[in-house]
Amino acid sequence: MDKTGQSVAEHLAHVTPAVRRRDADTLVALMGEVSGREPQMWSAGIVGFGTCRYTYPTGTEGLSPILGFAARKTAAVLYVLDDVQAQENALSRLGPHTRGKGCLYLKDLDKNDPVALRELIQRAYDEVIAGGSAYAEFTVID
């Protein structure tokens, strides 16, 4: 994955529907606060914070934001580079969501517990900074 150089504000100004734009603004603030990093645009419309190299146990590796999300039409997709299955406590309190191995799908942040969401994001960030988990190894670049 690569950074695009596109303006985050410009990208988010065109996000629809309005609930997704509102949630994107909330996630920019939250992920920026957790990471202490400015948002940057990555390929595929991903808003990312920081850069890391990941290596999966299979040997697959690449570059990715430390934290990131995409405001898709049907849901905000959080790319947290953590095995979200390992965070069952916070997930059980989060509210409506679906999930993949390293991502969460949230349709309306107003229906999610903000404390649980922050815990999920903070833990994912902390694992990348610490160098990884059973899911992957990480090396922070910036």
pLDDT score recorded for residue 87: 77
3-state secondary structure the chain: CCECCCCHHHHHHCCCCHHHHHHHHHHHHHHHHHHCCCEEEEHHHEEEECCEEEECCCCCEEEECCEEEEECCCCEEEECCCCHHHHHHHHHHHCCCEECCCEEEECCHHHCCHHHHHHHHHHHHHHHHHCECCCCEEEECC
Architecture of the domain spanning 8-140: Alpha-Beta Complex (3.90)
Q: How far apart are alpha carbons 136 and 23 in whole angstroms?
A: 28
Output the pLDDT for position 53: 94
pLDDT 10s digits, 87-104: 778 889 999 999 877 789
In which band, very low, low, confident or very high, does the pLDDT at 86 lie, cut at 50, 70 and 90?
Answer: low
pLDDT of 84 reads 62
Domains of the chain by residue range: 8-140
Which residue bears the tokens 């890391």? 52
In this structure, are residues 64 and 48 in contact, taking their beta carbons and an 8 Å threshold? yes
Q: For residue 21, what pLDDT is reported?
A: 97
Tens of pLDDT, residues 4-13: 999 999 999 9
Percentage of the chain lying above the pLDDT 90 cut: 77
Over residues 33-46, the pLDDT tens digits come to 999 999 999 999 99
